[in-house]
Structure 1
Amino acid sequence: MTDLPDYRPRIPAQPARVGLVGAGAIARSAHLPAYAAWRIPVVGIASRTAGHARALAADFGIATVHETVDDLLADPDIDVVDIATGPAGRLDLIEAAVRSGKHVLAQKPLSVDAAELPRLRAVLASARERGLRVAVNQNARWAPAWRLATLLVRSGAVGEVVGVTHLHDKPLPPLAGTAFDDVPHMLIADYLVHWIDITRCWLEGAHVVSVTAQDSRVPAQPDAARNPWHAGIQIGTSTGASASLRIVGDARTQSGGCPFWIHGTEGTLRGSVLLGSDFLELERGDARTRFPLEGQWFTDGFAGAMGELLTAVAEDREPENAAEHVLATVELGLAAVASADAGGVPVHPIDLVLTRASDGKASTT
């Protein structure tokens, strides 16, 4: 291939001004370093813990620390609200930001509760009526190997997708004793959301007909680790294409990563992300092409997610990571959790279509 698709984050020449809600570890380690590196202006911050907000503001040159989220939402100098908080209360924050006339980037997972989806859709409809953009921080979409793979799949580089496979060949992050370990089926409900989301991007155009998920404890897993360390998800679609996502456990390796394969009717993409394993190659016919990659998921992916929202605002269109597009990811995740909760019984979603994100046409049905 002679023309390599532009897979790097896009930032408009004059980006809208960002206000950050939340001052936790992810804001310090990912959001703000990414925004600083890509010159995304963060002009205000608010947090439940004012001291954390002041510390972040001092370290990253943020001009204004607001005492409350309401104060931040009332700030006329802020155009976009970056909600970098946990799932609890996230919908309330999205709704308040929309009511205040702000565009929104919401942390993932967008929702973990099926009961709140009708209200979420109503909030998104209200935002659309007001010309506001609500996007989701699905930052892994801009991990270099995954982003380039998405663009190549959309260009027809492998023909029609036949199957997607992911293997988690790396140690798990620390889970025992953390709040994440209190989340039922945590690996499926939270950790694998990025893998679910990128997989749906590669299966665009298909109806999901079945979702099957299992999790289980593994040999020598510490008693203190309450959540299972093995998890697997299988997705079947109306086209016959399928997907498999597998975490074998807390893999003992110093040279691992997260390899993936996208098999198509005319070729194969194979690659990996994380732990410095990043690569992507296309095999088609007698030719095999390995693409040079720049950047890393952490932290360029965070610039990609915010940059896409800022670019969409500047171009007056829906972002690729629009919340309405990500709703299909939410429904896939909820189906996987329901399957795991039932001991691996397949779940058959109704009218779950993996539509393509494109210029104002993002939708899940």
Structure 2
Amino acid sequence: MTSLSLPHPDWPDADDDPRWSDWLNLEPSPPVRRDWRIGAVGAGFIMRDCHLPAYAAAGLHAVGIVSRHRRSAEEVAALHGVERVYDSLEQMLDQADVEILDVAVPPQAQRGLIERAVGHRRKPRGILAQKPLAMSPDEGKAIVQACQQAGVRLQVNQNMRFDQSIRGLKTLLDRSVLGEPVLATIDMRAIPHWMPWAQGGRSLATYIMSIHHLDTFRYWLGDPDRVLASTRPDPRTSFDHHDGINLAILEYDAGPRASTWDDVWSGPSPDPHGEGPRRRIGQAIEIRWRVEGTRGVALGTIGWPDWPQRRPSTLRFTSLDDPHPPEDRQGWRAPVWSSCWFPDAFRGPLFGLARALETHQPPDIDGADNLKTLALCEAVLVAAREHRVVDPRQWW
């Protein structure tokens, strides 16, 4: 883990001091250019309510959009001022001079679409792909290889890395504010809305929901050496599946341990999308995380479960190395900010890809590296199914 110098004298004092944003590196660095020619693929929730609003707020705009259903693309284009709607991916690549292809389609459709894009005579310079990049490590490798052979940079939209509390914690770890990490936990009690494309696949919660938390542990702590896991179906989800409620433990030979408890049941309470019993029984919908180190502790919450209400995530921490610990809060620092994971953080992956194209460097969530996140998902599936400890590195 990289350790940065700790600027003790520069620690902000008040929780609402705007300097916390820079101190904790909450916001990703934007690209130099703002006129990147972005081609949007897909017109569903992620593109309509997350990608395009986040880009517009950052001064970036799509020059074209294409979707399976033209009417949906036309509605999204009118809503967000996209210049033109196209009838096919190839037509958009031919006519819109696309530099960055922003893909927001189900994972089952992603490989074929990306291979068409990189094989086209007017291929884009970079592609932003959704997570999961694929529903298996082998499928993910095929996508990465296609992009590498075509000379197209591939960025994966692991957008939880750009949640403000997740980034803040990463900075605390890099600066050794907490010392050496000992234990990291994520505890999710939430009821996701499973999209129709999620039905009938080889994985439900692992590759679609738990992937956020598994990738976050990679972001915070690096790649684990072993995985233990247990899973069971979610009683609320009516279609057949195996991995609904997921429990996973990650072991690191360097010392840290990490666990994610991904509870998509959360109790016999109403599904926000209309299914399940109508009487609420002591339900608590929330995502909390905690990281303990040899020199400090950090606690956080994720605001996403309250969407569409905007609720920022939170972070508070205490460190033995704090030069001026606030006595009125028993040493706890609690920075505040107004930005949210949904939709603000979705500009982060696009920023990273654009900066990579400007600097001729790999993106910060490079497709090749993201194969290790897919390997970690696969390790959780196998560990739970076969009731054994699994080394995720066998799928690298």
- TM superposition score category, shorter chain reference: 0.7 to 0.9
Report 1:186-335 matches (<5 A): 186-204=204-222, 206=223, 208-217=224-233, 221-222=235-236, 224=238, 226-227=240-241, 229-251=244-266, 256-274=285-303, 275=306, 276=311, 278-285=313-320, 287-335=331-379
Whether 1:63 aligns to 2:86 is: no
Structure 1 residue runs of 5 or longer lacking an equivalent are 353-363
Does the 8 Å contact 1:97/1:103 carry over to 2? no
The one-letter code of the counterpart of 1:154 is: D
Report the equivalent of 1:160.
180
| SS across alignment from 1:324 | helix
Secondary structure, counterpart of 2:79 in structure 1: helix
Q: Does 1:141 align with 2:141?
A: no
Is 1:98 the counterpart of 2:152? The answer is no
The CA RMSD measured in Å over matched residues stands at 2.3
Distance between the aligned counterparts of 2:106 and 2:32, measured in 1?
31
| Structure 1 letter corresponding to 2:316 | E
Residue 43 of structure 1: SS of its match in structure 2?
strand
Cα deviation for residue 124 of structure 1 reads 4.0
CA distance in 1: counterparts of 2:294 and 2:355, whole angstroms: 34
Are the structure 2 counterparts of residues 92 and 223 from structure 1 closer, same or farther at C-alpha, using a change threshold of 3 Å? closer
Percentage identity across paired residues of the two chains = 26
* Counterpart contact for 1:181–1:226, Cα < 8 Å: yes
List per-residue Cα deviations over 1:277-334 (Å, max 9, x = no partner).
7211121126421122231110012111112212222233222111122121111011
1:157-201 CA distance string (max 9 Å, x none): 2122222100013x31234x8432433441112111111111111
CA contact (8 A) 1:105 1:137 kept: yes
Question: Could you list the per-position Cα deviations for residues 35-75 of structure 1 after superposition, in whole angstroms to 9, with x for gaps in the alignment?
Answer: 22222121001111111111111111111111101112223
8 Å contact from structure 1 (residues 258, 273) kept in 2: yes
Letter in 1 for 2:238: A
Q: 1 CA distance for matches of 2:192 and 2:294?
A: 36
1:189–1:337 contact (8 Å) kept in structure 2:
no
**Alpha-carbon distance in 2 for matches of 1:335, 1:280:** 30
CA contact (8 A) 1:233 1:244 kept: yes
Residue in structure 2 matched with residue 360 of structure 1 by the alignment: none
Q: Distance in 1 between matches of 2:312 and 2:61?
A: 31
Aligned length: 343
CA contact (8 A) 1:163 1:264 kept: yes
CA gap of 1:222–1:145, structure 2 versus 1, over 3 A, is: closer
TM-score between both structures, scaled by the size of structure 2: 0.80
Partner of residue 9 from structure 1, selected from 20, 28, 51: 28
Residue 164 of structure 2 aligns to which amino acid in structure 1?
P
**Which amino acid counterpart does residue 292 of structure 2 have in structure 1?**
H
Which residue pairs with 1:350 in the alignment? Answer: 393
Contact 2:214 2:376 in 1 (8 A): yes
Match of 1:107 in 2: 130
Mapped contact 2:160–2:212 kept (Cα < 8 A): yes
CA displacement 1:236-258 (0-9 Å, x = unmatched):
12212121000234225666421
Name whichever of 136-145 and 91-100 sits farther off: 91-100
How many angstroms does 1:76 deviate by?
4.9
User: Could you say which structure has the larger radius of gyration?
Assistant: 2
